[in-house]
């Protein structure tokens, strides 16, 4: 297929539309899910099942004035929310949803997604610093230390999968798992690895995704009881909206990566009708787990959070890396 400007524009528009639609309707899903867990109705007035709530919220946010606090660094205050959304949309470019549905498959796909995901912490940092608010500042320091701490075990676990697959091409990684459910990277026996620790690396990866997207129980960056609303305390209107959408877009990307690296991407568990629907199913099951975890677990403390990463997850993932390397060498 020849690459034309039209293709590029269509791909970019689709990526943005997918990210934005997901962000909008995941807010709805989150609120309905929370309500269900807390035994209350949730948003159910606007439209059937409250489905019109996200567009109405969007209109409300867009109609509001963007206020910039007096002492704030104006340029960075405006740039930060854009930076929250930009890496998420860039990452959608290389995520393969099925054999054919991918904007641009790259041989360094895994690297590209982690490269742009690592830019997300810059946005939190700039937002907190430029607001000129001590709660925002503390929150951004927390959020960044958290992001740095959990990026390490996440990358090490990903390297384990990349070693097993022998490729950083996301499509190639999925193709190797596509024979049956037992060949998925999460399962140890029949797969490519024979590594008994693979379920644990899946768990480590999932915990890291939770932490990297600043989700409860790891949402120390916006701990309402301590820091007002964290780094987005001073943001109103669409500035706040962009941070919100960025968070949900990152959840989608994290779940996409978990699906691709561990759950066989678009391949079917029984070898029947592989296609994009399996990918979507796995993706939304993972996202539902995210929401479920958020509303069932209490928030940890910042020390607990950092200790979990530096004292447990990093040694475990390093051991797993060495173990996998040994197994690959032996078999």
Partner 1 sequence: MNPSTLASPAFFSVDGLVGVVFLIMVAITIVGGLIACNSERLVRSVAGLVVCFIGVAGLYFFLNSPFVAMMQILIYVGAVAVTISFAIMLAAPEEKKKIGPSSILAGPLGFATAALLAGGFAVLALRTEWPILKKLNDGSMKNIGLQLLTDYSMVFELVSIVLLVAILGALVIARQGREN
Binding stretches for partner 1 (CB under 8 A): 2-6, 8, 73, 75-76, 79, 106-108, 111-112, 114-116, 118-119, 121-122, 125-126, 129-130, 137, 141, 144-145, 147-148, 151, 168
Q: At closest approach, how far in Å is the CB of 225 from partner 1?
A: 23
Contact 96, 170 (CB under 8 A): yes
Coil, helix or strand for 265? coil
Give min distance, CB of 141 to partner 1, in A: 6
Contact between 53 and 24 under an 8 Å Cβ cutoff? The reply is no
C-beta closer to partner 1: residue 13 or 75: 75
Cβ closest to partner 1, residue 4 vs residue 65: 4
To the nearest whole angstrom, how small is the minimum distance from the Cβ of residue 120 to partner 1? 9
> Do residues 309 and 150 lie in contact, with contact meaning Cβ atoms separated by under 8 Å?
yes
Cα dihedral across residues 310, 313, 319, 320: positive or negative: negative
Nearest approach in angstroms of CB 133 to partner 1 is: 14
Residue 254 near residue 213, CB atoms below 8 Å: yes
| Shortest distance, position 4 Cβ to partner 1, whole Å | 4
DSSP 309: I
Smallest separation (angstroms) from partner 1 to the CB of 229: 20
Q: Which is nearer to partner 1, 26 or 110 (CB)?
A: 110
**Integer CA distances (angstroms), 235 to 15, 46, 114, in order:** 26, 26, 27
50 or 120: CB nearest partner 1: 120
- CB nearer partner 1, residue 6 or residue 63: 6
The neighbour count for residue 47, using CB atoms within 10 Å, is: 13
Q: Closer to partner 1 by CB, 120 or 264: give it.
A: 120
- How far apart are CB 218 and partner 1 at their closest, in Å? 18
Which conformational region is residue 4 in: left (phi greater than 0), alpha (psi within -120 to 50 degrees), or beta? beta
Residues 6+ apart with CB under 8 A from 16: 89
DSSP per residue, 95-153: --SSSS--S---TTHHHHHHHHHHTHHHHHHHHHHHTT-HHHHHHHHHHHHHHHHHHHH
| Smaller CB separation from partner 1, 273 or 303 | 303
What is the C-alpha to C-alpha distance for residues 167 and 130, in angstroms, rounded to an integer?
40
């Amino acid at each position: 297929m020849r690459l034309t400007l039209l293709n590029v524009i269509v791909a970019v528009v689709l990526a943005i539309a997918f990210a934005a639609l997901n962000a909008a309707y995941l807010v709805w899903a989150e609120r309905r899910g929370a309500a269900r867990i807390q035994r209350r109705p949730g948003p159910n007035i606007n439209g059937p099942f409250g489905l019109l709530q996200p567009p109405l919220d969007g209109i409300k946010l867009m109609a509001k004035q963007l206020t910039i606090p007096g002492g704030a660094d104006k340029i960075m205050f405006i740039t930060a929310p854009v930076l929250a959304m930009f890496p998420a949309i860039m990452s959608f470019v290389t995520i393969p949803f099925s054999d054919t549905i991918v904007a641009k498959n790259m041989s360094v796909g895994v690297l590209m997604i982690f490269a742009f995901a690592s830019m997300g912490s810059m946005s939190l940092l700039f937002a907190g610093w430029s607001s000129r608010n001590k709660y925002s500042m503390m929150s951004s320091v927390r959020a960044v230390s958290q992001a740095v701490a959990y990026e390490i075990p996440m990358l090490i676990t990903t390297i384990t999968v990349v070693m097993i697959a022998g490729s950083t091409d996301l499509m190639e990684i999925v193709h190797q798992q596509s024979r049956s459910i037992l060949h998925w990277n999460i399962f140890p026996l029949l797969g490519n690895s024979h590594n008994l620790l693979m379920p644990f690396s899946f768990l480590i990866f999932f915990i890291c995704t939770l932490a990297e997207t600043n989700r409860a129980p790891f949402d120390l960056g916006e701990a309402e009881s301590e820091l007002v609303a964290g780094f987005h305390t001073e943001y109103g209107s669409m500035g706040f909206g962009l941070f919100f959408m960025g968070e949900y877009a990152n959840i989608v990307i994290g779940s996409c990566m978990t699906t691709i690296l561990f759950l066989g991407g678009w391949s079917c568990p029984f070898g029947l009708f592989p296609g994009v629907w399996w990918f979507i199913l796995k993706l939304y099951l993972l996202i539902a787990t995210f929401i479920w975890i958020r509303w069932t677990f209490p928030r940890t403390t910042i020390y607990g959070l950092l200790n979990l990463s530096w004292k447990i997850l990093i040694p475990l993932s390093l051991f797993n890396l060495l173990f996998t390397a040994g197994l690959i060498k032996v078999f």
